[in-house]
Each structure stands twice: as C-alpha cells, then as structure tokens.
Amino acid sequence: MPDKSEKERRKQIMDELKKQADQKFESNLPTSRENFKKLFDYLDTELSDTNCDDTNGLTKSFLVQINVENVDEVLKWLTEHGGYCDCEILSNVEEQFE
C-alpha cells in the first residue's frame, strides 16, 4: 500500500496530466470557447421547442449568424467529437467543455 507521500506524488502527476490534456483540448478548438458556449445555449433553447431533424442545420445557421468564418471546420470538429446532428452536439460535445 502506498504511503502518504507516494499518494501525493501520484495525485500531482494526475493533476499535471489533466492540465496538459485540458490545454491541448483548448488549443485545438476551431473557434472560441465562448462561441461554443453560445452555441450550446442556442441549441438548448431551440431543441426544447422543436425536435432534432437529425441534421446540424441549427448549428450551421447559428455559426453563420454569429459570423464564424470557418463554419465547415467547426462542423467537422463537432462531428469528430460526437456531434453528428444538433441534438448530439448538445448531448455529446457540450459535456467535453465541463
């Protein structure tokens, strides 16, 4: 059984690995974290009123509306992270930002 100093050392290693993973995730975002937060809020509102039509139409429309220049790149990134349609973007991708 590891002693107290070994447990602390392991905790520090895990904290550092988590910090590095968070930094890598953040640096690979195709648009700002703020744009993603706005998108998730928008989808939450829109999908509470209507059902998902199994496309990313609401997402694409919103990104154009807020003048994101690389819409196709953002949509590709969302797909690569489990967001194949608007409801999956909300359920699968949003949790990666928590």
| Domain ranges for the chain | 1-30, 33-97
Give mean pLDDT, residues 49-71: 96
Q: Which pLDDT does position 85 carry in this prediction? A: 97
In this structure, the chain runs to a length of 98
Tell me: pLDDT of 2 over 80.
Answer: no
Q: Which pLDDT does position 89 carry in this prediction? A: 97
Lowest mean pLDDT of 24-28, 75-79, 82-86, name the range: 24-28
32 — phi, psi (to 5°)?
-70, 155
From residue 21, give the alpha-carbon distance in Å to each of 4, 35, 74: 26, 21, 20
Give mean pLDDT, residues 43-69: 95
Model pTM?
Answer: 0.81
